[in-house]
A and B are shown apart, each in its own frame.
Chain A
Amino acid sequence: MAERISGAEALMRSLVNEGVETLFGYPGGAIMPVYDALYDYRDRLNHILVRHEQGAVHAAQGFARVSGKVGCAIVTSGPGATNTVTGIADAMIDSTPMVVICGQVGTSLLGTDAFQEVDVVGVTSPISKWSYQIRRAEDVAWAVSRAFYIAKSGRPGPVVLDFAKNAQTAMVDYEPAKVDFIRSYQPVPALNQEVIKQAAKMINESVKPFVLVGQGVELGDAREELREFLEKAQMPAGCTLLGLSALPSDHPLNKGMLGMHGNLGPNVMTNQCDLLIAVGMRFDDRVTGNLKTYAKQAKIIHFDIDPSEINKNVKVDLAVLGDCKQTLAAVTELLDETTHKSWIDGFKPYEEKEYNKVIDKAIHPKSGPLLMGEVVRKVSEASNHEAILVTDVGQNQMFGCRYFKYTKGRSVVTSGGCGTMGFGLPAAIGATFGAPDRTVCLFCGDGGLQMTIQELGTIMEQGAPVKIILLNNNYLGNVRQWQAMFFNHRYSFTPMVNPDYDMIAKAYGIPARTVVERKDLDAAIKDMLATDGPYLLQCAVLEEDDVLPMTPPGADVDCMMLEV
């Protein structure tokens, strides 16, 4: 016998059914019945009150990225919903599973320009995997189950549920629903044995294979399968920004990061290999540079779960559709054991060149102000390379991703495709809930931190153990670098007048320390990591530092600048 409960309570039951334990949210008028129901579910649903709805979605993203579960955010209608738009777009391009539940005015008021009414489905449809308006309490169980199924299956993504107020208050005979099949939606393309054979043949015939590792490997939980795939045929690999922790940094076949500010070797060798094997990545322009000259000498195989990624930017010779956990394993079985020694050795001169010209200077400076690179590497070392790296966007992100090292999977949380400044702080909060047993280190700049700085309040309330490393250069550093390089040093509105961050941290009850001198850095990092709970470590870094190497936008992938 079904129980008669409100639509709002049906939402609570449905969330519990989906295994949700943590929610990030902010109440408001049109979602009040849901918050009223939530009051009785506090023992089963841990609701984290953020300080701005943007914080809720980014926290849900951070939670999802480190846990592999679906992140969940609840906000009210109108401005509450539109404040989540950036996070939804960010989750869409970075394939992050998330369900955003927004309040909506009652159905009788829809279309009347009612108070706090916004066409949320219309706004979010183009930037979400699925966007649906719940207009009847009877639809709650079905819609929630469908939302979670869509968010996490296939190529993950954000789903929006626009929950009309009358559907929240109406009573319904609640029956749990389980959606695991949608006729019009095939999340995982079927594995094609012929294609698997062809891929193995191409790899076995290749003399200079090179593998591009994307976030798909993490999303598909295929790190082991990737390692076996690489090791059996001894194929060197480069990782995209979001794929960095899919392969341990110190694995002998990991040749580093791809892209505009990636490592020299993998970028140059992209244009020297005879077979390029892309796994779960989407040939972003920040990875490829000039498409007209990108890997033209090579045959290309693309492993992906999303058919619409095939031939989107780069024309490929073979598409291996499917879940890479299965496709990689299937191809690996057919691979010959080889060494490719001379090909792999070919990376060394580039590694040495980059180390001598860039890396050594960035992480082992002898004099002058602190450098971002050295701070990042020291934090990574002090955490035994086991921490989760969260970054904001800009120079902090590029230095963070370049010089942090990864030994475990799901260790990078950064806004890749969208490049959302202000992502870092709330995402780091979410990460502490998604991976409560791991250390979460956030690297951010003085610009990005201030975009969502209100979330320090969430950290204060929750005691969320985020280690905030503020790389303060008193500039919007990445834009300043571009202004220096491409706009004749005209620093148009990039210098930042900053507040006293120690005092801000103090106001929120967060321990803080500022480091100016190199000699104080180690002790401060030690102090930060030894502190139970949140910590703000402000590092006064070189104001006009440049992220190098760099492929200028639109330049050829193998034309990296090692110095300005």
Chain B
Amino acid sequence: MNNNVNQNTDCSACGKCADAEEKQMQPETSHRAKLSNLDANGNPLYTFLIYSENTPGLLSQITAVYTRRQVNIESLNVCASSTPGVHKFTVTSYCTEEMAKMLTKQIEKRIEVLKANYYTDDEIFILETSLIKISTKRMLQERNVGRIVRLHDAHIVEVNPTYATVEKTGITADILSLYDNLNQLGVVLQFVRSGRIAITKSRVEHLDEYLAERERERQNEK
């Protein structure tokens, strides 16, 4: 598992591509720029972890906070959290820290949002998953495909006479590295990458504390 790999490394230093031949296989693609931790304006990528009540319409309220302030959402994942009835949004965006602070405050202001925080990559464990559909015919012609899949610790989850499906779970850089290498061979038919999911490295569970605190306040008010 590599979900605790230091995210500050870019692809060329990921270790798995140390082989010179592999390096040659890495074309300069548009994804490459995204592998560094800064965008074109020098802003870092922040991961926003947002907890909310499970009420309809919250997703558009939260995304509106970003769009209104001209911040682009790079990835988004929404699902139930470990606390019953509480949903967790994982959003990534390039912005200044000042903007990240403002965004979290504006998001928390929405009535049904419980907690919103922002993190840099070194403060969280991150995972993404991806599926790559490749042409079986081209795969059989390219002797390197199997090797690349193995080197990237990926799995071929389905093979039929028309196509094969490669699954890779890991950090963004590793997934894009695999994709770039396969794409360079011209075997890729489809590629899809999930939004990021993340958990904090903190030893304190802020949401649990917040909910406990609110429960105490509710009792006091009664």
A residues in contact (CB < 8 Å) with B:
121-122, 125-126, 129-131, 133, 150, 180-186, 306-308, 310-312
Asked whether B218 lies within 8 Å of A126 as measured between CB atoms, the reply is no
The answer on a CB contact under 8 Å between B68 and A184 is no
Given the complex, which residues of A lie within 8 Å of B13, measured CB to CB?
none
Q: Are B111 and A185 in contact (CB under 8 A)?
A: yes
A186 to B111, CA, bound (A): 9
Choose among A125, A129, A130, A306 the residue that contacts B60 (Cβ–Cβ < 8 A). Answer: A125
Tell yes or no: B53 within 8 A of A by CB: yes
Q: How far is the CA of A563 from the CA of B62 in the complex (A)?
A: 46
Interface centre among B53, B106, B109, B215 (most CB of A within 10 A): B109
Identity of the chain B residue whose Cβ is nearest the Cβ of A309 in the assembled complex? B105
Contacts of A181 in B (CB 8 A): 217-218, 221
Check B61 against A126 for contact (C-beta < 8 Å): yes
A-B contacts, 22 listed (Cβ < 8 Å): A121-B57, A122-B60, A125-B61, A126-B61, A126-B64, A126-B68, A129-B111, A133-B56, A180-B221, A181-B221, A183-B114, A183-B211, A183-B215, A184-B52, A184-B113, A185-B112, A186-B214, A307-B108, A308-B102, A308-B105, A308-B106, A311-B98
Q: B214, A183: Cβ atoms under 8 Å?
A: yes
Q: Which residue of B lies closest to A135 (CB)?
A: B56
B109 touches A308 (CB 8 A): yes
In the complex, which residues of chain B have a beta carbon less than 8 angstroms from the beta carbon of A130?
111
Note all chain A residues with C-beta closer than 8 A to B101. 311
A122: which B residues are within 8 A, CB to CB? Answer: 57, 60
Give Cα A130–Cα B57 distance, bound, in whole angstroms. Answer: 11
Q: Which single member of A182, A183, A184, A307 contacts B105 (CB below 8 Å)? A: A307
- Nearest chain A CB to B206 CB, angstrom units: 14
Complex Cα gap A126–B59 (Å): 12
The number of A-B residue pairs with CB atoms under 8 Å apart is 49
- Measured CB to CB, the closest approach of chain A to B21, in angstroms, equals 51
Measured in the bound complex, the distance between the Cα atoms of B215 and A384 in whole Å is 51
- Do B221 and A150 touch (CB < 8 A)? no
CB pair A312–B102 under 8 Å, yes or no, is: yes
In the assembled complex, the Cα of A116 lies from the Cα of B214 at a distance in Å of 41
Collect the chain B residues with CB atoms within 8 Å of residue A129's CB: 111
Determine how close the nearest CB of chain A comes to the CB of B65; give it in whole angstroms.
9
- The 5 A-B residue pairs with the shortest CB-CB distance, nearest first, are A308-B105, A184-B114, A130-B111, A126-B64, A185-B111
Contact partners of B102 in chain A: CB under 8 A: 308, 311-312
Contact present for B61 and A184 (CB under 8 Å): no
CB < 8 Å neighbour of A308 from B56, B61, B108: B108
Q: Which B residues touch A182, using CB under 8 A?
A: 111
A-side contacts of B60, CB under 8 Å: 122, 125
What is the CA–CA distance of A133 and B64 in the complex, to the nearest angstrom? 19
B109-A184 in contact (CB<8A): no
Report the Cα distance A133→B52, complex, angstroms.
18
Instruction: Let me know if A183 and B218 touch, CB within 8 A.
Output: yes
Residues of B within 8 A of A308 (CB): 102, 105-106, 108-109
Taking CB atoms, residues of chain B closer than 8 Å to A180 are 221
Instruction: Mark contacts of B52-87 with chain A using CB atoms, 8 A cut-off: 1 yes-contact digit, 0 otherwise.
Output: 110011001100100010000000000000000000
Query: Which residue of chain A has the shortest Cβ distance to B53 in the bound complex?
Result: A184
In the complex, what distance in Å separates the CA atom of A125 from the CA atom of B60? 9
Min Cβ gap A125→B in Å is: 5
How far apart sit A125 and B109, CA to CA, in the bound complex (Å)?
Answer: 12
Which residues of B have CB within 8 Å of A306? 109
- Complex Cα distance, B69 from A308, in Å, reads 14
Kindly supply a per-residue 1/0 record for chain B positions 185-222, scoring 1 wherever the CB is within 8 Å of any chain A CB and 0 otherwise: 00000000000000000000000000100110110010
- The A-contacting residues of B in range 9-63, CB under 8 angstroms, are 52-53, 56-57, 60-61
Please measure, in the bound complex, the distance between the C-alpha atom of A312 and the C-alpha atom of B109, giving whole angstroms. Answer: 13
Given pairs A129-B111, A182-B111, 7 additional interface contacts (CB within 8 A): A126-B64, A126-B68, A130-B111, A181-B218, A183-B215, A184-B113, A185-B111
Shortest CB distance B89–A (Å): 13
Q: Identify the interface centre among B98, B106, B111, B112: most chain A CB within 10 Å of its CB.
A: B111
Partner of B112 from A121, A126, A184, A307 at Cβ < 8 Å: A184
In the assembled complex, which residues on chain B have CB atoms less than 8 Å from the CB atom of A183? 53, 114, 211, 214-215, 218
Q: Which of A125, A184, A310 contacts B57 (CB 8 A)?
A: A125
CA distance A130 to B108 in the complex (A): 13
Output the residue of A181, A183, A306, A312 with the most chain B CB within 10 A. Answer: A183
- Report the separation of the CA atoms of residues A185 and B218 in the bound assembly, to the nearest whole angstrom: 12
Q: Nearest Cβ distance between residue B103 and chain A, in whole angstroms?
A: 10
B111→A184 contact, CB < 8 A: yes
A131 vs B221: C-alpha distance when bound (angstroms): 26
Cβ of B100 to closest chain A Cβ, rounded Å? 12
- The CA-CA distance from A306 to B102 in the complex, in Å, is 12
B113 to chain A: closest residue by CB: A184
- Chain A residues lying within 8 Å of B98, measured Cβ to Cβ, are 311
Q: Which of A122, A129, A182, A184 has the most CB of B within 10 A?
A: A184
Cβ of B70 to closest chain A Cβ, rounded Å: 15
Q: Give B13 Cβ to nearest chain A Cβ, in Å.
A: 36
User: How many Å lie between the Cα of A308 and that of B109 in the bound state?
Assistant: 7
Closest to B68 in A: A126
Alpha-carbon distance between A184 and B50 when the two chains are bound, in angstroms: 12
A159 to B57 Cα, complex, angstroms: 15
Closest CB-CB distance, A88 to chain B, in whole Å? 15
